[in-house]
Chains A and B, each alone.
Chain A
Amino acid sequence: MNPYHGYPPPQFWRANADAASLMDADIDFGKKFSFSSDDKFATAGSCFAQHFARRLKGAGGSILYSEVRHPLIPVSQDHGYEVFSARYGNIYTARQLREMVDQALGVRPAIEDFAIRRDGRVLDLLRPRAIPLGFSSEAEARADRAFHLRAVADMLRQLNVFVFTLGLTEAWVNAADGYCYPVLPSTLAAEFESDGYRFVNFTINQIVEDLQAAVEALRNVNPLARVLFTVSPVGLVATAEPRNVVVSTALSKSVLRVAAQEMTGRHAFVDYFPSYEIITSPLSRARFWAEGLRDVTSDGVDTVMQIFFKSRMPGTSQQQAQGEVGGGTAPEALAAAITEECDEMFLDPSLRSRRPAG
């Protein structure tokens, strides 16, 4: 007997290749669970994750924001609100996620690593781009960090679904204490140059261990929480490994994809959504890469979210979700926005020089 007889079409390559469109290919086939508009989503991860929250909100989904802008903070100030569910900025690695969760839930003390920029503003090096304005003093940075961690704890306790987009395996850690930075501090500003940083390329075992610790901690305070992993399709800006960045990107994404699968296999409450495959598989015919071949076009993000809504939240308005893309701005503008929010861009001096000052 041929066990492949009777398998549904999505399990056959030909059926996917022959599908009229990606939307028809049922690329999310095999999912464990769907969501309703009543589910409160919290989002975190790499820059690709920002768009998930934005569009989910636009489509009528409920995004949990545990840190909201106080009326005394002008809307005109980019102070990190409503990019993610709390002001943690981009979380590229599983280690960063684990450390944030551990700090928020009191498993470990708050990590306070602040640096004074040349303009006198104090940056929180664990979320430097989340709060680009920085703080007026170290005491204020410390107070804000403590408040932020309480907000993360609230978020973890209140969310129904935690969406985490895995971004990188490569990271820089504090040489003395081992904690993880979102971006190498010395790439932010020359005055942060130091020999106190150490490069790490996390292995699959380390990543799974970190993800395991993070979801266990989450479930300890929120036993009904579900977790949805995605992998960012956005390539590395640069690799610190002595090899081609394309090769490093393939390895990183492969490792992250395996880690997500491992977690999905371990836990009934963990699932994976294939945004990575939607963008990178041959089914998309490479049409979702923006100029530069690293970022994803607006169409690509659109397609990911439309498939998400169709597969996981059929009650939501896909039309609305589509209309929300970049508020109707040009794909180039959205691609620029994606680039704009990526801490990683600081790794490439040639890109960094094109960023606005400050």
Chain B
Amino acid sequence: MPEYDFVVVGHSHAVAFLDGVTDWRKHIASTTHLPSDPRYSDAFQGWFSGAFPDESLQLQVTEPGLRSRRILARLIPRTSALNGAAEYVQHDGQPKLLIQTQFLDFLKGLPANVPIVSFIRGNEHARQMLGDLPRYDFLEPEVAGLDPAADAVPIDTIFIDQVIDTWLSVTLPTLAAIRAVTGERVIHILPPPPRENPQSAGYFEKVGAIVREHGFAPDAIRLKWYRRYCRLLSMALGLNGCEVLPPPTETLTKDGFLKSTLADGLTHAKLDYGKILARAIEEKIRSGK
């Protein structure tokens, strides 16, 4: 029997999952001594200040409804050397995966025959939720229609994809490196979608000033960016032998937004989302596909 049911590697989107089903808070230094940052909820106090540990944690699963018992988790805080530790470079006209030594060592040290669950990045699309751009729209097959407003500039998707490519250029090599070095099953957890009613968010994180000045992009735009990003990322990951897990249906509104009851601030989810997601992860691992 492997020592761990699965490995978790990721950024801030892992917090909801870890808070929901593990004892990870016991393993990190208390953040109560830190000055409270009013931009974030309690769950994210410390995350953005670098107070969270930059090391692997051996965690117990505390949620009784789950089969999994032990998880090896490695969060990658913003200050971690593991950020941006893999990239594609051109070599003889071909893309070549370049992996920095620290990340390579970390990957080589992961347990064998244990699936890896990735929460790598995932909030890139959130920048586009703000209303600070002149009105525009673009076609996205998964979200019908174009803004009928006369002043909504139709943006060709080649330009949208150029923006998304810059996001993928960080996430994709990281995951490709994980898969290539470990040879293990890699399941990337797609981030939660934009939340419904963002104006009702309790925390506006780093963009409060922009929100106050410009508000939010139309719902359709927020959803289009998210869906297109997820679709392109999923395709690219598939080509690199990685699987993806979309947000559980029960966490979404009928229009596909993250239910506000499950949203933490503007860009993350709460531990209740993590609990639902944990069941979907187990199901995904068990299904073997």
Do chains A and B interact in one complex?
yes
Q: Report A's interface with B, CB cutoff 8 A.
A: 70-74, 77, 133, 135-137, 139-140, 143-144, 146-147, 150
Nearest B residue to A147 via CB reads B154
Contact (Cβ within 8 A) B158 A70: no
Contact (Cβ within 8 A) B150 A136: no
Q: How far is the CB of A63 from chain B (nearest CB, A)?
A: 19
Contact (Cβ within 8 A) B133 A71: yes
Q: Could you say which residues of chain A place their CB within 8 Å of the CB of B158?
A: 133, 136
Nearest B residue to A144 via CB reads B154
Interface residue B146 (Cβ < 8 Å from any Cβ of A): yes
Nearest A residue to B138 via CB reads A140
Contact (Cβ within 8 A) B156 A144: yes
Q: Could you say which residues of chain A place their CB within 8 Å of the CB of B155?
A: 70, 72-73
* Interface range, B side: 10 to 19
Interface residue B97 (Cβ < 8 Å from any Cβ of A): no
Q: Could you say which residues of chain B place their CB within 8 Å of the CB of A70?
A: 133-134, 136, 153, 155
Q: List 26 A-B contacts (CB under 8 A).
A: A70-B133, A70-B134, A71-B133, A71-B134, A72-B133, A72-B136, A72-B160, A72-B163, A73-B159, A74-B159, A77-B159, A133-B156, A133-B158, A136-B139, A136-B157, A136-B158, A137-B157, A139-B139, A140-B138, A140-B154, A143-B139, A143-B146, A143-B154, A144-B154, A144-B156, A147-B154
Q: A140-B139, A140-B156, A143-B139 are in contact. Are A74 and B133 (CB under 8 A)?
A: no
Q: Report B's interface with A, CB cutoff 8 A.
A: 133-134, 136, 138-139, 146, 150, 152-160, 162-163
In the complex, number of A-B residue pairs with CB atoms less than 8 Å apart: 44
Contact (Cβ within 8 A) A74 B162: yes
CA A137 – CA B160 in complex, angstroms? 13
Contact (Cβ within 8 A) B159 A150: no
CA A94 – CA B11 in complex, angstroms? 61
Q: Which residue, B156, B158, B159, has most C-beta atoms of chain A within 10 A? A: B156
CA A70 – CA B133 in complex, angstroms? 8
Q: Could you say which residues of chain A place their CB within 8 Å of the CB of B163?
A: 72
**What are the 8 tightest A-B residue pairs by CB atom distance, in nearest-first order?**
A143-B154, A70-B153, A136-B157, A72-B155, A144-B154, A136-B158, A73-B159, A140-B156
Q: How far is the CB of A131 from chain B (nearest CB, A)?
A: 9
Nearest B residue to A148 via CB reads B154
Q: Could you say which residues of chain B place their CB within 8 Å of the CB of A140?
A: 138-139, 154, 156-157
Q: Could you say which residues of chain B place their CB within 8 Å of the CB of A144?
A: 154, 156
Contact (Cβ within 8 A) A137 B134: no
CA A71 – CA B214 in complex, angstroms? 15
Q: Could you say which residues of chain A place their CB within 8 Å of the CB of B160?
A: 72
CA A294 – CA B156 in complex, angstroms? 36
Q: Of the candidates A71, A74, A150, which one forms a contact with B150 in the assembled complex, judged by CB atoms under 8 Å apart?
A: A150
CA A72 – CA B155 in complex, angstroms? 8
Q: How far is the CB of A133 from chain B (nearest CB, A)?
A: 7
